[in-house]
């Protein structure tokens, strides 16, 4: 009689492990001494450690000293009931980057002092909120670009023409001033031209694109120009499916991101840019006007070891006219956000000194009519 429950338990454990590994959220179990007993695949990714390594550690090895998570575990054991805590910061030297999570903890029925903990990263919900903010900011720039094109570009052409006429009869000192007028007029026209990109609301023509050919092309441009003195490392998943995108616009996105990384590194002797691609199932977004959800399993990252983005700018980094550069226009990253948003994707930035990561999540190409319909194609 005792063998039947054992077989059921073994089979049930395997089935339970399969279910846990299918979840997109990190799930771990903690014994009464605070040691980690089990962890699913998402937890391995979240804690950046293998299950084998995690089983040899206690939870306080990974989380910051005095974390509310430890008090929450005590509450679960005391009440013998589920407890939740929202917006808990788990960032620590072993968990770098943005680690704001919602925590759901519950006692195991047959082992009351063993607690099951699930983490839900707040970053994804907040990234989507920021995408909506960027969209509103882009609309503001759209209206501003239309006004500037009419109210500024036309008068500037007259000013430039007048300066060229003056240059013909001016002495050398005055010619310096007329050339300055022409140069500044050209600079303003280029800025307005860049802003006019935001007013292009036509549907994006998309197809199956091999992201690695795009990144290889951009890397060649970078290392032969602005990143010639910087080491560029590739960490690609060769089995990655095609991305559903416009190739030319992806080139523009990654050219902007890699140039941004190169400028952040500057003359740093050990400067390094890392390009990564990976498949991350589990991220699903609702499409306005449709009952369907779009999956964003493709992750592309541009990482650099520059000084990092100031904390007060990180939340507004993709807004127009926000820049950390002395002579920057603040439109490069805003354009990146617009292009990725038009593709139905998400872009985010995590930054700390010597570790800045720009991460893009995008849909894979499926070839179905439904995918094209979702994006208005």
User: Do 358 and 303 reside in the same domain of the chain?
Assistant: yes
**Taking a C-beta distance cutoff of 8 angstroms, is the pair 31, 117 a contact?**
no
Domain that holds residue 216: 207-374
Tell me the C-alpha distance between 159 and 95, whole Å.
56
**In terms of pLDDT, which residue wins out, 202 or 345?**
345
**Where is mean pLDDT largest: 17-26, 77-86, 90-99, 248-257?**
248-257
pLDDT at 9: 39
User: Do 112 and 132 reside in the same domain of the chain?
Assistant: no
> Residue 322: which pLDDT band, with cuts at 50, 70 and 90?
low
What's the whole-number mean pLDDT along residues 103-121?
87
pLDDT over threshold 70, residue 372: no
pLDDT at 321: 63
pLDDT over threshold 50, residue 8: no
User: Do 219 and 358 reside in the same domain of the chain?
Assistant: yes
pLDDT over threshold 90, residue 102: no
> Residue 202: which pLDDT band, with cuts at 50, 70 and 90?
low
pLDDT at 184: 79
The tally of domains found in the chain comes to: 3
User: Do 88 and 237 reside in the same domain of the chain?
Assistant: no
pLDDT over threshold 60, residue 134: no
pLDDT at 1: 38
**In terms of pLDDT, which residue wins out, 111 or 316?**
111
**Taking a C-beta distance cutoff of 8 angstroms, is the pair 196, 149 a contact?**
yes
Lowest mean pLDDT among 77-81, 201-205, 343-347: 201-205
> Residue 302: which pLDDT band, with cuts at 50, 70 and 90?
very high
Smallest CA-to-CA distance from 191 within 156, 228, 217 is with 156
Say which CATH number the domain at 328 has.
3.30.565.10
Q: Dump pLDDT digits (tens) for 166-181.
A: 888 888 878 888 888 8
Smallest CA-to-CA distance from 44 within 288, 280, 225 is with 280
> Residue 271: which pLDDT band, with cuts at 50, 70 and 90?
very high
What's the whole-number mean pLDDT along residues 77-98?
78
User: Do 190 and 318 reside in the same domain of the chain?
Assistant: no
> Residue 197: which pLDDT band, with cuts at 50, 70 and 90?
low
User: Do 129 and 51 reside in the same domain of the chain?
Assistant: no
**Taking a C-beta distance cutoff of 8 angstroms, is the pair 91, 98 a contact?**
yes
Tell me the C-alpha distance between 134 and 184, whole Å.
29
pLDDT over threshold 90, residue 130: no
pLDDT at 351: 87
User: Do 37 and 73 reside in the same domain of the chain?
Assistant: yes
Say which CATH number the domain at 117 has.
3.30.450.20
Tell me the C-alpha distance between 76 and 74, whole Å.
5
Of 63, 96, 122, which one is at a domain's C-terminal end? 122
Of 153, 168, 199, which one is at a domain's C-terminal end? 199
User: Do 167 and 111 reside in the same domain of the chain?
Assistant: no
> Residue 3: which pLDDT band, with cuts at 50, 70 and 90?
very low
User: Do 244 and 331 reside in the same domain of the chain?
Assistant: yes
User: Do 218 and 336 reside in the same domain of the chain?
Assistant: yes
pLDDT over threshold 50, residue 142: yes
Q: Dump pLDDT digits (tens) for 222-238.
A: 998 889 999 999 999 99
% of the chain at pLDDT higher than 70: 73
> Residue 5: which pLDDT band, with cuts at 50, 70 and 90?
very low
Which stretches within the chain are classed as H helix?
3-22, 41-47, 51-55, 68-79, 122-148, 154-169, 172-196, 211-223, 247-265, 332-342, 369-374
Tell me the C-alpha distance between 288 and 80, whole Å.
41
> Residue 301: which pLDDT band, with cuts at 50, 70 and 90?
very high
Distances (CA, A) of 155 to 73, 181, 187, 346: 68, 13, 14, 39
User: Do 105 and 232 reside in the same domain of the chain?
Assistant: no
pLDDT over threshold 60, residue 143: no
Of 93, 122, 151, which one is at a domain's C-terminal end? 122
User: Do 187 and 215 reside in the same domain of the chain?
Assistant: no
What's the whole-number mean pLDDT along residues 321-340?
71
pLDDT at 2: 36
**Taking a C-beta distance cutoff of 8 angstroms, is the pair 254, 215 a contact?**
yes
């Amino acid at each position: 009689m005792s063998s039947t429950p054992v077989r059921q338990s073994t089979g049930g454990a395997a089935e339970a492990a399969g279910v846990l590994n299918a979840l997109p959220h990190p799930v771990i179990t903690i014994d009464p001494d605070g040691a980690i007993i089990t962890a699913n695949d998402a937890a391995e990714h979240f804690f950046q450690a293998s299950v084998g390594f995690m089983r040899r550690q206690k939870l306080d090895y990974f989380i910051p000293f005095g974390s509310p998570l430890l008090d929450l575990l005590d509450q679960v054991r005391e009440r013998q009931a589920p407890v939740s805590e929202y917006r808990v910061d788990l960032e620590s030297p072993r968990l770098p980057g943005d680690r704001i999570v919602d925590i759901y903890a519950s006692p195991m029925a047959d082992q009351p002092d063993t607690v099951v903990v699930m983490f839900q990263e707040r970053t994804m919900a907040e990234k989507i909120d920021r995408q909506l903010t960027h969209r509103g900011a882009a609309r503001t720039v759209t209206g501003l670009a239309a006004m500037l094109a009419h109210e500024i570009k036309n008068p500037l052409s007259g000013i430039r023409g007048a300066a060229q006429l003056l240059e013909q009869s001016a002495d050398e000192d005055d010619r310096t001033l007329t050339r300055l007028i022409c140069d500044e007029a050209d600079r303003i026209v280029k800025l307005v031209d860049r802003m006019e990109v935001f007013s292009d609301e036509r549907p994006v023509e998309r197809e199956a694109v091999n992201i690695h050919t795009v990144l290889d092309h951009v890397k060649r441009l970078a290392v032969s120009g602005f990143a010639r003195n910087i080491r560029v490392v590739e960490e690609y998943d060769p089995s990655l499916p095609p991305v559903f995108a416009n190739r030319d616009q992806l080139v523009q996105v990654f050219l902007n991101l890699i140039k941004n990384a190169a400028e952040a590194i500057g003359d740093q002797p050990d400067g390094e840019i890392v390009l990564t691609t990976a498949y991350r199932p589990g991220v699903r977004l609702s499409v306005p006007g449709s009952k369907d959800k779009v999956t964003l399993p493709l992750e592309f990252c541009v990482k650099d070891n520059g000084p990092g983005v100031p904390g007060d700018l990180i939340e507004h980094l993709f807004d127009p006219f926000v820049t950390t550069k002395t002579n920057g226009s603040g439109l490069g990253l805003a354009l990146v956000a617009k292009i990725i948003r038009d593709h139905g994707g998400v872009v985010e930035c995590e930054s700390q000194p010597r570790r800045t990561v720009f991460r893009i999540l995008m849909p894979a190409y499926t070839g179905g009519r439904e995918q094209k319909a979702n994006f208005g194609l």
